Amino acid sequence: MKKYVALFLFILFCSKTPAIENPYVGARALALSDAFIAFPDVWGTFHNQAGLVNIKSISGAVYYSSQFGLKELAQMAGTVIIPTKTGTFGLGYSQFGTGQFKETKLGLAFSKQLGKRISAGIQIDYLASILPENSRAKGCVTFEGGLLYRISEKFDLGVHVFNPLRQGIKSFTEEIKLPTTIRAGGSIYISEYLLLGFEIEKNSEEKTIIKSGAEFLFLENLTIRFGVSGEPFAYTTGIGYKMGKITTDIGFYYHGNLGITPSVSLQFNLK
């Protein structure tokens, strides 16, 4: 029975837009309702590549979430960040679904500091979709990029655009256009213990979404997070714990009708 429910939900999610979208991953981001555009983080390969310049050592992360607790709707992702004298390189991969229903993304990013306050990043993506009627994956190449502007040590603004040329995936009968997504927002330290994030997202096929999140440094290595977004309204929460070079994040997304989506990510750096 679960298998048929998962199939129904997969079709429901895919039917919301003409084709696959840019996936947002990372348990920290999820716990903040993905109000994450101005957060320099290793998961910048899926949010804003410009923030990767703030990562000063080789770093990586892995992520797993299960939509509403169904393994058939699992999201898996990984990323590796390598800073160099020329700029910072990033590689990210994600997969949603399993078996005959699968969506994947592979991206190669490059970011660079352009001045004292501004950084920029760009990423080349390959997105593919596998359905039962396809003998092999159908995919396309597109790109995305963003800017990060530091107003002060406590206040950052970010902007990001995905698939600006409306690239699409060719099916047996037509070319299905991928949506263009524009995100803009900021992050601000209210104090050394409280960080706020806010963001506006516009998808070319959907309504504008307003997102916000708050991160509290509860103990020296323990962080508590909350978020809200809408419309439709969604609530998120999570925690993060840092031990040496490893950070573990757990996030939960709540849907009023379908239940809870749990997520976890593990991040490391070699510094």
* Cα(114)–Cα(240) distance, integer angstroms: 31
Mean pLDDT to the nearest integer, 112-117: 94
Cβ(46)–Cβ(144) under 8 Å? no
Rounded to a whole number of angstroms, the distance between the first and last alpha carbons of the chain is 48
Least confident of 201-205, 226-230, 258-262: 258-262
Beta strands in the chain (DSSP E): 59-66, 74-83, 88-96, 102-113, 118-130, 138-152, 155-162, 168-170, 175-177, 181-191, 194-203, 209-217, 222-230, 234-243, 246-255, 259-269
Cβ(50)–Cβ(43) under 8 Å? no
**Confidence band of 133 (pLDDT split at 50, 70, 90):** low
Give the pLDDT confidence score for residue 80 in this predicted structure. Answer: 98
* Cα(196)–Cα(187) distance, integer angstroms: 6
Give the pLDDT confidence score for residue 105 in this predicted structure. Answer: 95
- For 200-224, write each residue's pLDDT tens digit: 999 988 889 999 999 999 988 999 9
Phi-psi domain of 38 (left: phi exceeds 0; alpha: psi -120 through 50; beta: other)? alpha
**Confidence band of 267 (pLDDT split at 50, 70, 90):** very high
The backbone torsions φ and ψ at residue 53, rounded to the nearest 5 degrees and listed phi first, read -65, -20
* pTM metric for this prediction: 0.87
Whole-angstrom CA distances from 100 to 72, 134, 191 are 10, 9, 48
What domain range includes position 209?
2-269
Give the pLDDT confidence score for residue 234 in this predicted structure. Answer: 87
- For 55-70, write each residue's pLDDT tens digit: 999 999 999 998 877 7
Cβ(254)–Cβ(16) under 8 Å? no
- Report the percent of the chain where pLDDT is more than 70: 87
Cβ(238)–Cβ(251) under 8 Å? yes
* Cα(61)–Cα(79) distance, integer angstroms: 5
Mean pLDDT to the nearest integer, 47-52: 97
Average pLDDT, the chain: 88
- Count of domains forming the chain: 1
Give the pLDDT confidence score for residue 132 in this predicted structure. Answer: 62
HEC secondary structure over 161-191: EECCCCCEEECCCCEEECCCEEEEEEEEEEE
Pairwise pLDDT comparison (80 vs 233), residue with the higher score: 80
Pairwise pLDDT comparison (43 vs 139), residue with the higher score: 43
Statement: residue 94 has pLDDT above 90: yes
Cis peptide upstream of residue 199 (ω within 30 degrees of 0) = no
**Confidence band of 95 (pLDDT split at 50, 70, 90):** very high
Give the pLDDT confidence score for residue 4 in this predicted structure. Answer: 45
Give the pLDDT confidence score for residue 174 in this predicted structure. Answer: 65
Return the CATH number at 104: 2.40.160.60
Mean pLDDT to the nearest integer, 13-26: 65
Statement: residue 13 has pLDDT above 70: no
Pairwise pLDDT comparison (10 vs 37), residue with the higher score: 37
> Tell me, what amino acid is at 178?
L
- For 135-154, write each residue's pLDDT tens digit: 566 788 999 999 999 999 99
